[in-house]
């Protein structure tokens, strides 16, 4: 069965430090991958997506992610974290079924120290 793994439940970084959030997926074909961010009590905001083409994807708020087929990974990165980046981050992949529903990771909670 398809799955998405976000190995880090919680990460704390200092403001200005670089960030990498890990995401691994299991899927036989080329996956459609997403990263979403959710601030406390809020809805989801799409950061970026990968469907095909360039494996380095640029998103909003200075985020980028790199699709690595050999590692089945789609890690999210940001060179310099801002305090406002503190939130929950979710990785998701489109399932292979007819309804193309999303398979979600459990999320990574990011805390930013001043």
Does residue 53 interact with another protein by CB under 8 A? no
Can you read off the two tokens belonging to residue 43? 């809805």
Contact 44, 28 (CB under 8 A): no
Total binding residues toward another protein, as defined by CB under 8 A: 21
Cβ at position 32, least distance to another protein in Å: 4
Q: Does 52 bind another protein (CB under 8 A)?
A: no
Q: What are the contacts of 38-43 at 24+ separation with CB within 8 A?
A: 38/87, 38/88, 38/89, 38/90, 38/107, 39/87, 39/88, 40/87, 40/88
**Dist CA 101 CA 16 (whole Å):** 36
Q: Is 101 in the site for another protein (CB under 8 A)?
A: yes
CB of 80 to another protein, least distance (A): 27
Q: Which is nearer to another protein, 78 or 90 (CB)?
A: 90
Residues that bind another protein (CB under 8 A): 32, 34, 36, 41-44, 46, 49, 51, 90, 94, 99-102, 104-107, 109
């Amino acid at each position: 069965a398809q799955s998405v793994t976000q190995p880090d439940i919680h990460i704390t970084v200092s403001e200005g430090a670089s960030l990498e959030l890990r995401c691994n997926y299991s899927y036989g074909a080329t996956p459609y991958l997403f990263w979403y961010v959710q601030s406390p009590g809020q809805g989801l905001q799409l950061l970026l997506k990968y469907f095909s083409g360039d494996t380095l994807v640029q998103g909003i708020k200075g985020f980028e992610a790199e699709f690595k087929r050999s590692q089945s990974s789609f890690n999210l990165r940001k060179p310099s974290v801002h305090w406002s980046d503190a939130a929950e981050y979710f990785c998701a992949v489109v399932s292979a079924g007819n309804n193309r529903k999303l398979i979600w990771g459990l999320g990574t909670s990011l805390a930013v120290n001043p």
